A and B are shown apart, each in its own frame.
Chain A
Amino acid sequence: MLSDLADCMGDSVSTSRPSTNGLMTGGRLKFFIGGAIIFVVLAWLIVTNIGGASAQYLSVEELLAQGPSDQMVRVSGLVSGETIDWDPQRLVLRFEMADESGSIPVMYEGVRPDMFRDGAQVVVEGKHSSDGVFEANNLLLKCPSKYVEE
């Protein structure tokens, strides 16, 4: 898109004064360099930031196979209802998260989300600690559309 911008602006500028040939190439070159710099800056902004901000989802099976680690990961799964243990005084939420392949205990310190209940689909972000518990820093619920009730 931006190279297009540089192109079409370069075009329109350069064709405006066909008589001044030297200026034309000079102007074109300037725009080409300017456009290239801007393009590089944009690409740099995107590439350097996209890696750190994106996280790949693991299934519970993949997480268990990987074993405990210090790496931050995202796991999605379903809440098993009978395992929900909510301590309203200390604000600690414990539950088992499961998918087709297995389940893992999760501990989360924070607010129990409103829509958190048996069978809710959740995404947890955190670390698989050495005692086998997944320590979540973030607990998100997948909810149906904001606007349309399904």
Chain B
Amino acid sequence: MSQIGYGVLLLCLCVSVYGAVASFIGARRGSRRVLRSGTNALRVMVDLVSAAVAILLYLLLTRDFGVAYVYQYTSTHLPFIYTVSAFWAGEAGSWLLWLWFLTILAAIAVRQSERLGKIGPYILATLAANQAFFTLVLILIANPFETMASTPMEGVGMLPLLENPGMVIHPPILFLGYAGYSIPLAFALAALMSGEVSSDWVKAVRPWNLLAWISLGLGIIIGAWWSYVELGWGGYWAWDPVENASLIPWLIGTAFVHSAMMEERRGMHRVWNLVLAILAFVLCLFATLVTRGGIIVSDLHGFARSLQPIAYLLMSFMALILGVGSFLIWRRRHRLTSERQMENPISREGSFLLTNVLLCGMALIVVVGTIYPTFAQTVRGIQISLDASFFDRATGPLALALICLMGICPVIAWRRLTGDGLRLLLPAALGGILSAGLLLVLGVREALPLVSGAISAFVVLSLLSILVRDVRSRRRSTGESYVRATLTMLSRARRRYGAYVVHLGIVFIAIGVTGSRTYKSEQLIALNPDESTTIEGYELRYRDYSVQTLNPEPETYQSKVRFSTTLDVYVDDSRVATLTPQKNYHYALENPWVTEVAIRSTLKEDLYVILASLEDDGLAAFQIVINPLITWIWIGGGVLLLGTAIAAWPSGRRRAEER
């Protein structure tokens, strides 16, 4: 079975290379016959890669330990859902998943490209070439179908940290985002190759852009959630190179979403859009280089210590894309002039430009901070570490400025600030200042929550006043009721209101980040059974403890001794929750201890309890963390998804208008 899988991969390589060559020749010669053949190659790729995916899934589910990948990541104790997620627990499976998404998205894009005239064939060629690269990686470096010399009786098993619902969905969503950015890349390069560099490609790529953006964004948020509930350190974002690596393309992608709008609406930023589309994809590759290539020196995660073979492949591919992209942009530079120029910096154009610059600036800061320790080591020969405060301080002001812009930008008109805009802006700004005053009266003295509170209130008020204005004017012209007018507004101008909802989601996330960063409080305490402690109005009574052995035979990563404690949580003498923080000793693992935290979540704050240690007589050390407002980060993630769905939802009327 595994040989068949490998054979399928080899076939994939032939088909994708053929598809790229045929599409390219078809595009140059304008030959429909050759082109159809190239299109078919891309369609066949979906079937082939799906077959490879099915084979690997079959091998995992039948626990064929003769296959190295299955042996490494599964065991007989592993529950069904994690046996499926073992698919992306390792490098080879992740590449295969990524390739699978690439082929599926490409097959959908093929149908769209048929309507795109001269650009279409080049899109196919680029997509097929991209698939060829991924197939090459699978064949040369990360073959998931590699077999063992003999078939072991039992697999090693999944790392317990990955046994978490977050890890079931985080990698696929992230890879969908990474794969998604291959489409804007293909559209951009195709526009350049075909010479049809009008704004059509930007319009056509919009749904793909949004898909990639929201997938990557949700992937990052789910990753943060996983880190929060599973890693047991009380936080969710450590500015670790792995986290940064996925954030960088997302920031660039966010810049692209905004500057693409400038090109669609105003015919501006045309070179810059091409640059961003290319950069977003290249940075997705860079993210893989960071996590898999052994290029980044990290304090805590000794990734591969030397440059891996995959690093050379990835760097060549990145260099190729950047080289081809720059050359093509240079060659087409005369056709890439803006239709308009900015008349006034205080206009919607101006605020979009500033948004773009701030996002790219943040990305630059994260890049600098991520590679700085490596740079210092290679160039200056000293070992340096950079802690998270650098990122907080350097990106924080830019992030606050960006959020502020979310309130300003929708209000001011294209070309210049009008009196109408000013009438909406001033009350909202006043509301923001008043909210800061209110917070001050309530006893808030720290700068971050005051500024962040004022800005958040300003944005929400500004968005609300736009909604009220629109509904009022609709009511005046149609005489509909408020509810009806609101609903029609929302469904008519989905793009606009979807964007506002997304911005609201960002405000929620900002509130969550501000609260948990500023007011996080911690207590470290050793308790004997029946003793209790208090923190921030909670009383925690340590009731009981237990020790039990799970999955002892055969010995795999899933074999463990579970140390469990039970605490009753009281607020005002009434019991509100029972928490069971645990520690598992996985004796087959090199690092055997895995902490399972217990969390009580409310909209106001999380009570987060870590069992730090448990002695034989029941003496336990608990680390108790209060994380105010943290739930709003996860809620914000949901709102982002909702807003993007509203904005991307295809509407028959709008489509007709666009044509």
Q: Which residues of A does B touch, CB under 8 Å?
A: 1-2, 4-5, 8-9, 11-17, 23, 27, 30, 34, 38, 41-42, 45-46, 49-50, 52-57, 74, 88-91, 110-112, 114-115, 123, 140-150
Query: Known: A114-B591, A145-B301. Is A1-B360 also a contact (CB below 8 A)?
Result: yes
Q: Which residues of A contact B369 (CB under 8 A)?
A: 50
Q: Does B368 touch A at the CB level, under 8 Å?
A: yes
Bound together, the chains give a CA A55 to CA B383 distance in angstroms of: 9
* 23 residue pairs bridging A and B, Cβ less than 8 Å apart: A2-B360, A2-B364, A12-B337, A15-B337, A41-B361, A45-B398, A46-B368, A50-B369, A50-B390, A53-B390, A54-B372, A54-B386, A57-B385, A74-B385, A88-B621, A90-B526, A111-B610, A111-B612, A112-B612, A123-B385, A143-B300, A147-B90, A148-B91
Question: Least Cβ distance of B610 to chain A in Å?
Answer: 8
- Flag if A45 contacts B397 (CB, 8 Å): yes
Which listed residue, A8, A49, A150, touches B271 by the CB 8 Å rule? A8
Measured between C-beta atoms, what is the minimum distance from A115 to chain B in Å? 5
Size range of the chain B interface in the assembly: 35 or more
Contact B365 A89 (CB under 8 A): no
Query: Beyond A11-B271, A46-B394, A57-B384, is A112–B365 a contact (Cβ under 8 Å)?
Result: no
CB distance from B24 to the nearest CB of A (A): 27
B612 surroundings in chain A (CB, below 8 A) = 91, 111-112
A88 adjacent to B372 (CB under 8 Å)? no
Q: Is the CB of B302 within 8 A of A9?
A: no
Q: Are A115 and B383 in contact (CB under 8 A)?
A: no
When chains A and B are docked, how far (Å) is the Cα of A45 from the Cα of B268? 29
- Cross-interface CB contact of A42 among B162, B365, B613, cutoff 8 Å: B365
- Selecting from B105-113, B200-208, B311-319, B339-347, the interface stretch reads B339-347
Q: B615 on the interface (CB 8 Å rule)? A: yes
Lowest 10 A-B CB distances belong to which pairs?
A114-B593, A53-B390, A111-B612, A57-B383, A13-B341, A12-B338, A16-B338, A45-B394, A49-B393, A8-B271
B357 touches A5 (CB 8 A): yes
A66 to chain B minimum Cβ distance, whole angstroms, is: 15
Mostly helix, strand, loop or mixed at chain A's interface?
mixed
Q: Are B272 and A9 in contact (CB under 8 A)?
A: yes
Residues in chain B within 8 A of chain A (CB atoms): 89-91, 156, 159, 161-162, 242, 268-272, 275, 291, 299-304, 333, 336-342, 345, 353, 356-357, 360-361, 364-365, 368-369, 372-373, 376, 382-390, 393-394, 397-398, 524-526, 583, 589-595, 610, 612-613, 615, 619, 621, 623
B394 touches A49 (CB 8 A): yes
For B301, give its contact among A1, A45, A52, A143 (CB under 8 Å). A143
User: Would B300 and A89 count as touching, CB distance under 8 A?
Assistant: no
Shortest Cβ distance from residue A109 to the other chain B in the assembled complex, whole angstroms? 8
> What is the CA–CA distance of A49 and B591 in the complex, to the nearest angstrom?
34
With A and B bound together, what is the CA distance between A111 and B523 in angstroms? 11
Main secondary structure of the interface of B (DSSP, over half): mixed
Using known A-B contacts A49-B390, A52-B389, A145-B302, determine if residue A13 contacts B338 with beta carbons closer than 8 Å.
yes
Report B-chain residues with C-beta under 8 Å of the C-beta of A89: 526, 619
Check if A146 sits within 8 Å of B385, measured CB to CB.
Answer: no
Residue on B with the closest CB to A14?
A: B341
Rounded to whole angstroms, the CA-CA distance of A56 and B593 in the bound complex is 30
Residue of A16, A90, A114, A146 touching B340 (CB-CB under 8 A): A16
Bound-state Cα–Cα, A47 to B342, Å: 32
- Contact between chains at A110 and B271 (CB < 8 Å): no
Q: Are B526 and A91 in contact (CB under 8 A)?
A: yes
Interface centre among A2, A111, A141 (most CB of B within 10 A): A111
Q: Which residues of B contact A145 (CB under 8 A)?
A: 301-304
Closest to A8 in B: B271
Contacts of A114 in B (CB 8 A): 583, 591-595
> In the complex, which residues of chain B have a beta carbon less than 8 angstroms from the beta carbon of A74?
385
**Of B91, B159, B268, B591, the contact of A12 (CB 8 Å cutoff):** B268
* B337-A55 in contact (CB<8A): no
What would 11 more interface pairs be, CB under 8 Å, given A9-B269, A13-B342? A2-B361, A5-B272, A9-B353, A49-B394, A56-B384, A112-B621, A114-B593, A114-B594, A123-B385, A144-B302, A145-B304
Knowing A12-B268, A142-B299, A148-B90 are in contact, say whether A53-B386 is a contact too (CB < 8 A): yes
Q: Chain A residue with minimal CB distance to B364?
A: A1
- B613 — which chain A residues lie within 8 A by C-beta? 88, 111-112
Which residues from chain B contact A141 at a C-beta distance below 8 Å?
300
| A42 proximity list for chain B (CB < 8 A) | 361, 364-365
Known A12-B337, A30-B345, A57-B384; contact A115-B593, beta-carbon cutoff 8 A: yes
Closest A residue, CB atoms, query B350: A34
| Contact indicator B275/A8 (Cβ below 8 Å) | yes
The reply to whether B591 and A115 contact each other, CB–CB distance below 8 Å, is yes
- Report Cα–Cα, A142/B271, bound state, in Å: 44
Query: Which residues of the other chain, A, contact B269 by a CB distance below 8 angstroms?
Result: 9, 12
Contacts of A91 in B (CB 8 A): 524-526, 612, 621
Nearest neighbor of B617 in chain A, beta-carbon distance: A88
CB A15 to nearest CB in B, in angstroms, measures: 5
Q: Which residue of A lies closest to B294 (CB)?
A: A145
What CA separation (Å) do A17 and B376 show in the bound complex?
46
Please name all residues of chain A whose beta carbon is closer than 8 Å to the beta carbon of B394 when the two chains form the complex: 45-46, 49-50
Question: A41 CA to B619 CA in the complex, in Å?
Answer: 53
Q: Are A111 and B623 in contact (CB under 8 A)?
A: yes
How far apart are the CA atoms of A140 and B300 in the complex, in Å? 7
Whether the pair B271, A12 counts as a contact (CB closer than 8 A) is yes
How near does chain B come to A48, taking the closest CB pair, in angstroms? 8
Q: Are A142 and B300 in contact (CB under 8 A)?
A: yes
Q: Which residues of A contact B89 (CB under 8 A)?
A: 147
A16 to B342, CA, bound (A): 11
Interchain CB contact under 8 A, B589 and A142: no
Taken together as a complex, chains A and B put the C-alpha atoms of A33 and B282 apart, in Å, by 30
Smallest Cβ-Cβ distance to A144: which chain B residue? B302
A8 CA to B345 CA, complexed, in Å = 17
Q: How far is the CA of A115 from the CA of B610 in the complex (A)?
A: 15
Closest chain-B Cβ to A9's Cβ sits at a distance in Å of: 6
Closest B residue to A41 using CB positions:
B361
Contact of B357 among A2, A53, A56, A144 (CB under 8 A): A2
